Chains A and B, each alone.
Chain A
Amino acid sequence: MKKYLIIWCCIMHTAAMAQQTTMYTYEGKFNSSFGRGDNYREFRGTLIVSGDRSLFTMKETGVHLPPVQANNLELRPDSMFTVFKDIESNSLLFEFSDMNQRTHLFADTLFPMDWKTSEEQRSIGGISCLKAVTQFKGRRYTAWYAPSITVPDGPWKLGGLPGLILEAYDDEDNWHMTYVGKQEVHDFDQDHFLSAIKNGIEGFPAFAAYVKKIFKRLEAALGAQSTANCVDCQTKSVVKFHSWEKID
């Protein structure tokens, strides 16, 4: 009888652990004029971890005043850098919101980063962290991870370290996320992502091709526009594209 009770306790404990879902909260910033100027906005990031699966997203916080000397057409979604990871199936999906505000899912390699770890230490939120750096999609990132939290995950696409990344930023500090707290939450809706994985999903090259196609159409449309309202004028329009992740 005692033996069965122990087995039952083990099963219940395992089941409880399996259902445990934790939301790690980050705060930080993103400069959408990366490499060209300052257009920083504050964001709150959440990384919801449930077993081998996680969902990261970041939403803008606070009031933002548009830059005074600019003409902006803001089509950015309210959630950015949204990434679903499933370590068990070695999958990573990320969202892209087009000019129509339609969301598209694409796959990318899970944790391809070649991290260079060091013994440098610092404390984040009272948790001891170690430093690691890597080069990823054209940018160099620094991560501070907590070996005491055995979750090999982190904000956005970053992860694969022996501990949860509690702080991450690029070398120019255009994107910066810092852990501020955690709480237990209900499980998040994974069906949307799991069905996408099941049905097959295109990878990063397809994403790059899709973005290029959109902007090529835009470029052609803008290039063809008339400036016939001024006979003596000579007008030239130029379109430049900037992507956070390097697109060849």
Chain B
Amino acid sequence: MIFEKVQEKIAEQLGIDTDDITMESSFIEDLGADSLDIVELLMALEEEFDIEIPDEEAEKLVTVGDVVDYIKNNQ
């Protein structure tokens, strides 16, 4: 459920297909995101899930799975 929503947001932000986004995908290496895309994406997710992602945590979120786990643990 969380994964599907995250997948949708990523696809929208990066203009890619949801099928290309897996739990293992790295934002930069696999999905072609740059640092500004990640900032925007995390802001969109903060609003979607009503959470706060502090900068020091944001730096550790490398893959889609990292983000999904973070949301699960902080909702």
Partners in one complex: no
List residues of A whose CB falls within 8 A of some B CB.
none
